[in-house]
A and B are shown apart, each in its own frame.
Chain A
Amino acid sequence: MTSFILEIRKMMRKARTYIGPIALSLLTLAVALGVKHDNHAQYMRRRMENDFIVAGSMLNAAFLCRVLLEFIAFTFLPLFVCMVCADLMASESADGTMRMVLVRPITRARVLISKYTLGMLYALKLTVGTGLFAYLLGWLMLGRGSLVIFENGIWVVPEHTAILRLLAAYALIGCGMMAVGSIAFAVSTFLSNANGAIGAAMGVLYGSAVIGQIQYFAKLKPYLLTSPLEKWGEGLTGPFDANTYLHSIGLLLTYAVVSFVIGLVIFERRDILG
């Protein structure tokens, strides 16, 4: 527990930790302002509200949460998560403080587990925190109401159900960020360069997206990193299938665990030369 608290203390003092939350908050605000003041969106809203009975405002907090996730799930979120997860190990190796820590009576596994746990909590907190912030901001600026989605038709999800389904979507993306963060973390155990680890993890994410589009690799597709991540929206447009979500979460957590084990084995065997 002590080493975990020490890791929190170190993380809280780094500017890098706050870049993600600040940038995502600003982005949420920008999207909320866009939804509120965009003429086309307002026109669509008026048209829809004339033709359908929608509880509350159509362009509301739930709508903002859903739109935001589309924007950030494969772009900003993994980038900010990787920035922090890769830095946990790489910066200490590059600065030489890892050497100072490891000449103390503490096992390498304990150091690694503390850092990894913190990285995973950060990934989850950043994702879910962004969702909560978006909902609260949306509530203040746009009001509450049912979630209306235009995708292969029009889907109207009642407010109370929408909140639960959005929570499930954010939790799924949170697990995805844990997986991506774990890859960055694993790479940073042997690469004393956070940028390299960020690049590697983002490369796996986008590489999966590309491979998933190639027919030749169709058999691989269900196991690619992006496939379970893409399932986040399914529960919002149609009946909610808990099994799909659980299966996707399981696959993403498998990525996270395998990455962690690889990182642990590398770190345990590695000579600390820097």
Chain B
Amino acid sequence: MAEIVLETTGLTKFFRARKAVDDLSLRVYEGDVYGFLGPNWAGKSTTIRMLTGLVRPHGGSARLMGYDVGAQRVQSLRQVGAIVELPAFYKYMSARENLEIFSRYSGGCDKKRIDEVLDAVGLLDRAKDKVKTFSHGMVQRLGIAQALLPDPKVVILDEPTSGLDPQGMRDVRELILRLSKEHGITVFLSSHLLHEVEQVCNRVGIINRGRLVAEGSVGELLHREMSIVEFGVSDIAHAAELLSGVDSLKVLETSACCVSINGPRDCVAEANRALVQSGIDVYSIVPKTMNLEDLFMKLVGDGEEDD
């Protein structure tokens, strides 16, 4: 069993009466690329702020590298690199000077390491330029560079591809995968870009309105949740009416030749049996693959309906 490097237990934070994070418990294991998904205002950034000690929780605790962030903040951040929201730099200094300054806060590093991280994010040739001349995307890349400076074991990235062009986004995704595969760095990646998370993460936590609504490996989550199956039938209206009456099934949509249902995998056979027994011809049963976006919309959408 891999070691737990990042863990929250019952983490709760209020902003006045609003509960921004609600009893959040999650675990990230060594080597994970953990996608922390959620819509805007779901509580992702607040969670990351609590993980890095910027914000104090009203309840629960966070642990990084085995240290309690509240009680041992300095120790817990020693092997961690992070971007919290948009990276910010001293605009009147060059990229290199900024990295020198930030590296000193982590105990310092040599010029070679600064060149390495600048090279990794494609900014080595702009190292001497002042940050005020940088585009949004370049600042974002420099943010990733500063997170990598202390040679961290865990990297926390809050929407790292925000503001990047498609090529930049792809570069960052490749960089994250490289960090994980080649350097064994654990990555905690917050994002609302589902395809991004699906492409790079092996585990996912989905947060909505401050609550963790699902957590697990991407494959596990997709299989655990109900699947969508399309039935090609002879009598659409009759079939839709019949299937609507089956518990645990939900008719999603009907078209000219088929009915789409959503439900647990076990119910597919039951639905088929019900259709055949009612004299409806079944021409095809096509399982539709659920992707992370479907799952996300389902979980987040359900949450909104509940409220």
Q: Give A contacts to B, CB under 8 Å.
A: 2-3, 6, 9-10, 13-14, 95-97, 99-107, 269, 271-273
Instruction: Assess whether B101 is in contact with A102, with CB atoms less than 8 Å apart.
Output: no
Number of B residues with CB within 8 Å of any CB on chain A: 32
Instruction: Assess whether B104 is in contact with A105, with CB atoms less than 8 Å apart.
Output: no
Residues 89-102 of chain B, each 1 if its beta carbon lies under 8 Å from chain A, else 0: 11111000000011
Complexed CA–CA distance, A100 and B143 (Å): 9
B27 at the interface (CB under 8 A from A): no
- Pick from B85, B89, B101, B106: contact of A105, CB below 8 A: B106
Task: Choose, from B73-81, B213-221, B262-270, the stretch at the interface.
Answer: B73-81
- Pick from A6, A96, A271: contact of B49, CB below 8 A: A271
- Contact A97 B90, CB 8 Å, known A103-B54, A271-B55, A272-B55: yes
- Contact A96 B86, CB 8 Å, known A3-B105, A103-B77: yes
Residues of B within 8 A of A101 (CB): 102, 105
**Total A-B residue contacts, Cβ distance less than 8 Å:** 74
Instruction: Assess whether B87 is in contact with A100, with CB atoms less than 8 Å apart.
Output: yes
How far is the CB of A192 from the nearest CB of chain B, in Å? 12
Residues of B within 8 A of A14 (CB): 92
Instruction: Assess whether B102 is in contact with A104, with CB atoms less than 8 Å apart.
Output: yes
Complexed CA–CA distance, A1 and B61 (Å): 32
- Contact A99 B55, CB 8 Å, known A104-B106, A105-B74: no
Q: Give B contacts to A, CB under 8 Å.
A: 49, 52-56, 73-75, 77-78, 80, 82, 84-93, 101-102, 104-108, 146, 150
Closest B residue to A94 by CB, please name it.
B88
Complexed CA–CA distance, A96 and B131 (Å): 14
Complexed CA–CA distance, A106 and B74 (Å): 6
- Contact A105 B78, CB 8 Å, known A13-B90, A271-B56: yes
- Pick from A6, A95, A96, A272: contact of B101, CB below 8 A: A6
Residues of A within 8 A of B150 (CB): 104
Complexed CA–CA distance, A9 and B55 (Å): 28
- Contact A10 B90, CB 8 Å, known A272-B55, A273-B49: yes
Complexed CA–CA distance, A103 and B54 (Å): 7
Closest A residue to B146 by CB, please name it.
A100
